[in-house]
Every structure is written in structure tokens, then in C-alpha cells.
């Protein structure tokens, strides 16, 4: 087995095989062939273009109450996003703290039913446009600053960041993508392109490292069993 540090910059189907173009850290390019390929390329988050958002990402600005909930329990928290997503996220975050504020990007689209649900859980709504985030040099969130009104002191801000595929290889190969841009796979992690598999955050479903690793393991088993059938025909 060979482990090679290189970026796959090209992938094409050549009969029953795939040809991969690799680019080494030095910039040198080479090619390899493979009978099966597993895409575990992940996704990239698209952060709102607000000052302080990127600087605090992963510390004061968080994306998942399941991954980052416990350490922020019983602290003043906020949720930021569009009306369609902010209600559900705010309700999840309210399981960790009784002091949660929903900052709605498009307040005009926040329905009366959503407002009632938030109000029942004691979640306040801020409708002023968010201007920037203020924090410390080591990534601790201090204030949410709005275009008008008083700044809001918070310890953490949760958002539902938009995402896109980190690699364009699946789309270039003609793989089927779902409405959210994730690579569709079968129960065996097989894409719609025979011999091409995908696993992890680039596929539909909950995004967690543990689940991504499990999908990678399932894909490896499926690939190995398929190769065995091909090499050991009846």
C-alpha cells in the first residue's frame, strides 16, 4: 500500500478504470489509475460576510448545538440566520440555556406561529440588522453589535452556515446531487456513477466526524466486497 500526499485535480472514467491526475505539494503532476474511487472530500462553510464572523468561527461562533452545547450551558447565547432556519436552531439551543436571543436576518419572514413558539420558550427576538461581532484576540465572543439599538452581550452565537462541495469532482463526473448539493449515494455509499463512491459530509445526512468515519468504513467494505466478486467470479 502506498500513501501519497497529493491533491486530486482531475478524475476521468477510462473504460472500467478511473484515471486520477495528482498534484504534489511541489506542483509536480502525475497520474494514477484505480478500479474504484472513494470521494471523502467534505464541504466548505459559507459564513455571513460580517466583520468578526470569520475571526470567531469555531470558538465564539458555532454551528451545532450537539457538538458545542455542553461547554456553553447556562450562558447567554444567540442564534443568527434567516427566519426559515433560525426558529428551529433557537429552540435546540434553548435546551442548553434559558437565556437565548434569536437574531433574525429577514424578520419580515418570521411567521406569527414561529414568534409564538419562540415566545413560549422565553426566546427574545432581535430584528435590527446585525452589523458586526466583537470578541477577544483568543476567539471569545463579547458583543453582537447591530446597526441600531444596544449591543447584545453574548458568550456564543450559533448559525446555520450555507455550504458547498469542497471538491467539484463529483459534479464533473456527472454524479447525481440532491436539492442541497450533497452527493446522492446508495446504502452501499455508491454514487450514480458505477465504481465511484462517496462518504462523509459531502453526502446527505447529519454531519459529524463519527458518522463520517462510519460511512467511510461502510464504503470500504462495499468496495472490497465488490472487488472480491469481480476477482473471484462464479
Q: What is the pLDDT of residues 22-37, one digit of tens each?
A: 999 999 999 999 999 9
Residue 234 binned pLDDT confidence (cut-offs 50, 70, 90): confident
pLDDT for the residue numbered 3:
87
Element (H, E) at 80: strand 77-81
User: What is the value of pTM for the model shown?
Assistant: 0.86
Clarify whether residues 62 and 145 are in a common domain: yes
Clarify whether residues 18 and 79 are in a common domain: no
DSSP-assigned beta bridge partners for residue 126:
103
Task: Say how many domains are in the chain.
Answer: 3
Clarify whether residues 147 and 54 are in a common domain: yes
Clarify whether residues 65 and 139 are in a common domain: yes
144 phi and psi, to 5 degrees? -100, 125
- In the sheet with 7-14, reading across from the earlier edge strand, the strands are 7-14, 17-23, 29-34
Assign residue 53 the CATH number of its domain: 3.50.50.60
User: For residue 226, what are the domain limits?
Assistant: 36-45+167-234
From 131, 159, 187, give the residue that closes a domain. Answer: 159
Could you tell me whether strands 156-159 and 61-62 are parallel, antiparallel, or unpaired per DSSP bridges? Answer: parallel
Q: Are the C-beta atoms of residues 134 and 52 closer than 8 Å to each other?
A: yes
Clarify whether residues 27 and 5 are in a common domain: yes
111 phi and psi, to 5 degrees? -70, 160
pLDDT at 1 over 80: no
The three cell numbers locating residue 184: 446522492
Q: Three-class SS of residue 112?
A: helix
Clarify whether residues 205 and 215 are in a common domain: yes
Q: Nearest Cα to 64, choosing from 229, 209, 216? A: 209
Clarify whether residues 75 and 142 are in a common domain: yes
Q: What is the pLDDT of residues 131-181, one digit of tens each?
A: 999 999 899 999 999 999 899 999 999 999 999 999 999 999 999 999 999
Length of the chain: 234
Residue 17 binned pLDDT confidence (cut-offs 50, 70, 90): very high
Distance from chain centroid for Cα 175:
19
**Can you tell me the distance from the alpha carbon of 220 to that of 176, in angstroms, rounded to the nearest whole number?**
21
Clarify whether residues 9 and 19 are in a common domain: yes
From 140, 159, 178, give the residue that closes a domain. Answer: 159
Clarify whether residues 54 and 113 are in a common domain: yes
Amino acid at each position: 500500500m502506498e500513501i501519497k500526499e497529493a491533491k486530486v485535480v482531475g478524475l476521468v472514467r477510462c473504460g472500467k478504470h478511473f484515471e486520477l491526475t495528482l498534484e504534489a505539494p511541489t506542483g509536480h503532476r502525475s497520474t494514477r489509475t484505480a478500479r474504484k474511487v472513494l470521494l471523502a472530500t467534505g464541504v466548505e462553510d459559507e459564513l455571513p460576510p460580517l466583520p468578526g464572523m470569520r475571526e470567531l468561527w469555531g470558538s465564539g461562533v458555532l454551528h451545532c448545538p450537539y457538538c458545542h452545547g455542553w461547554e456553553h450551558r447556562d450562558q447567554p447565547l444567540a442564534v443568527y440566520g434567516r427566519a426559515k432556519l433560525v426558529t428551529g436552531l433557537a429552540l435546540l439551543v434553548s435546551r442548553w440555556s434559558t437565556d437565548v436571543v434569536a437574531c433574525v436576518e429577514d424578520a419580515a419572514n418570521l411567521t406569527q406561529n414561529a414568534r409564538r413558539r419562540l415566545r413560549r420558550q422565553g426566546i427574545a427576538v432581535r430584528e435590527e440588522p446585525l452589523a458586526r461581532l466583537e470578541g477577544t484576540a483568543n476567539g471569545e465572543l463579547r458583543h453582537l453589535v447591530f446597526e441600531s439599538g444596544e449591543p447584545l452581550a453574548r458568550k456564543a452565537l450559533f448559525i446555520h452556515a450555507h455550504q458547498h462541495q469542497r471538491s467539484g469532482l463529483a459534479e464533473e463526473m456527472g454524479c447525481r446531487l440532491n436539492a442541497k448539493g450533497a452527493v446522492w449515494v446508495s446504502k452501499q455509499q455508491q454514487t450514480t456513477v458505477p465504481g465511484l463512491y462517496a462518504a462523509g459530509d459531502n453526502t446527505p445526512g447529519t454531519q459529524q466526524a463519527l458518522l463520517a468515519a462510519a460511512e467511510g468504513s461502510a464504503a470500504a467494505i462495499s468496495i472490497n466486497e465488490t472487488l472480491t466478486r469481480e476477482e473471484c467470479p462464479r
